[in-house]
A = this chain, B = another copy of it.
Amino acid sequence: MFADFEKYIKTQTAVLTDDEISMIARAATVTNVRKKQLLLQAGDVCRYKIFILEGFLRTYGVDADGEEHVMQFSPALTWTTEGESYANCIPSNYNIEAIEDSRLMLWTKDTFTGLMSNIPSLKQYSENLVAQNLHTSRNRLYKAISATAEEKYEDFVKTYPGILLRVPLRMVASYLGVSLKTLSRIRQAQLQR
């Protein structure tokens, strides 16, 4: 059942042994969620680290006008959580929602902390993930403040080649921080080229 997880972790890190990866997998709770189901609601504390076995999640905020803004897309074979809420046990500013029927592995904080005490390499791997997330976040921030709408879209298509077929265009627009109108115009212009 965890073959995909175990295979993925081995591509990510050499510091965990097969036994350790198996121990981490067996500590997870596996759950199926339906499209549009919320894993985390803004205002609640994020209690899980999540690994997506199948499906697709998104992390998004909702502004005072009810407008949704997508912070993150999480396809299969990636990790997600709301780190600030999870780490500090504070209400989350963001929602995590399944945008397709999904199959997930969940670890509570207690479980994951216990695993890290028993498996020092998991702590190392986990720190590396946080550092990698920081680099990704900073590079995306740099694009957000420096790139044109066209550049943002082209970069998105390159980074996530399959996503456009699976995600409504309005979510992509909100992820890029451009209006749906602007994004439609850019796509129209590209089709005409």
Bound-complex Cα distance A67 to B148 (A)? 12
**Given A134-B133, A134-B134, also A142-B83 (CB < 8 A):** no
Complex interface: chain B residues within 8 A of A91 (CB): none
Bound-complex Cα distance A148 to B117 (A)? 44
Q: How far is the CB of A122 from chain B (nearest CB, A)?
A: 14
Complex interface: chain B residues within 8 A of A67 (CB): 146
Bound-complex Cα distance A138 to B87 (A)? 14
Complex interface: chain B residues within 8 A of A142 (CB): 61, 69, 71, 93-94
Complex interface: chain B residues within 8 A of A141 (CB): 71, 137, 140-141, 144
Bound-complex Cα distance A135 to B92 (A)? 11
Interface residue? A153 (CB, 8 A): no
Interface residue? A23 (CB, 8 A): no
Interface residue? A174 (CB, 8 A): yes
* Identical copies in the complex: 2
Interface residue? A154 (CB, 8 A): no
**Given A134-B130, A138-B71, also A145-B175 (CB < 8 A):** yes
Q: Is the CB of B83 within 8 A of A134?
A: yes
Interface residue? A164 (CB, 8 A): no
Interface residue? A157 (CB, 8 A): no
Bound-complex Cα distance A139 to B88 (A)? 15
Interface residue? A155 (CB, 8 A): no
Complex interface: chain B residues within 8 A of A175 (CB): 145
- The answer, among B93, B137, B174, for a CB contact under 8 Å with A137, is B137
Interface residue? A176 (CB, 8 A): yes
Interface residue? A63 (CB, 8 A): yes
Complex interface: chain B residues within 8 A of A133 (CB): 134
List the 3 shortest-distance A-B pairs measured between CB atoms, nearest first: A145-B177, A69-B146, A144-B144
| Chain A interfacial positions (CB closer than 8 Å to B) | 61, 63, 67, 69-71, 83-84, 87, 93-94, 127, 130-131, 133-135, 137-142, 144-147, 174-177
